[in-house]
Structure 1
């Protein structure tokens, strides 16, 4: 099959599912951050060296994050199918895949946020406390501000991870490039389709990582011009 013939047969399919993949990744990442950021901040605040140490709350958050993170994504996707059906009315397609993507990504993001905020120099936090800053102000205007470069790197890693999850969801009709690779590349023995989907996924990861690292360096206060 020539390149022209290949494009005429699969071009629109690949373009459509590239958009579907990006839709799933960015929407699920947004929702996962809405859940994961508060959990990550809660872990930092309630830790032994946090602003408001609380072993019970920290233990609960830590336990939930560890449990969900330990479940392989494909198994998690199947386990929460009843929840997915209840929320979106179906268990297949892009919209349905967003639900397990959020469940899988939120604990991962929580750990990334926790790790980034824990890197902040404790002396900076103590200085803010000595000036009478509230805990809310310290978290958002000191800790998040100081850790913004690390947080962006974490977001870049999260995007690449969620992109990989979305491709795995294709094995159970999740839609996107993963679905194309399985349905057309694997089941129909179209090696060219498989190769192109892999290339597209690799390109997307590289673009995300490149932009994320550039933005991280741009906002890094430690880098002097």
Structure 2
């Protein structure tokens, strides 16, 4: 064990930090994009507070199209766009754009589902009091859906970690890159198993935290 840590400890630690960096940055940007899109889907759908068939159809179609493309294909498909935006297509910096493009529509759909769970009677009660739509969205609908939103973001984060692992195939860095470059190509199973264990621990930890936070929000 000590010899393994001496040889691979620093490399695996740096890969772990790269995975955290890719996940956190991509998740924050994806939430900034995905949450408003989810709200817009709820508002513009049939029977929504701002019903608009054209806007809903466009959003719904774009989200479905992006979500239907496997991440590894999307990664290569938008390489020119990634190069234009980030100036590179390799390393942690080069994979942020594909991760955001992949995750934001997923979060939008999860947010839509969470917001639609809110009791319409509660919304109608606030509308009858003359409260503006914007305040109802943020202080009623989003607040009532907090627990479901947290669970949705937990699922999205776990999916995002999986995508960062796949990004290792194009030299994006992180645990996926270590597992592919050394565990697979150089036939070093101990490195492969170590990265798998770390990823399992990460996923289990995130899921547990998400469940705890969601339960507390439901009790509030």
Partner of 1:147: 145
Which residue in 1 is equivalent to 2:154?
156
Aligned-partner Cα distance in 2 for 1:29–1:209: 15
Q: TM-score normalised to the size of structure 2? A: 0.98
What is the total number of aligned residue pairs between the two structures? 220
Q: Name the residue aligned to 2:2.
A: 4
Query: What SS is found at the alignment partner of 1:133?
Result: coil
Q: How far, CA to CA, are the matches of 2:102 and 2:85 in structure 1?
A: 16
CA distance in structure 2 between the partners assigned to 1:48 and 1:196 by the alignment: 49
Q: 2:87 aligns with which of 71, 89, 98?
A: 89
TM superposition score normalised by structure 1 = 0.96
Residue 213 (structure 1) aligned to one of 194, 207, 211: 211
Task: Map 1:125-140 onto structure 2 (within 5 A).
Answer: 125-140=123-138
**Which structure 2 segments of 5+ residues have no match?**
none
Residue 95 of structure 1 and its aligned partner are, at CA, apart by 1.0
Residue 174 of structure 1: CA displacement?
1.3
In structure 2, the partner of 1:19 is 17
Q: Tell me the distance in 1 between the aligned counterparts of 2:47 and 2:93.
A: 40
**Take 1:38 and 1:79, find their aligned partners in 2: how far apart are those partners?**
25
1:40 has 2:38 as partner: yes
Structure 1: 5+ residue runs without aligned partners? Answer: none
- Runs (4+) of structure 1 exceeding 4 A deviation are none
SS in 2 for 1:220: helix
Taking only aligned residues, the RMSD between alpha carbons, in angstroms, comes to: 0.8
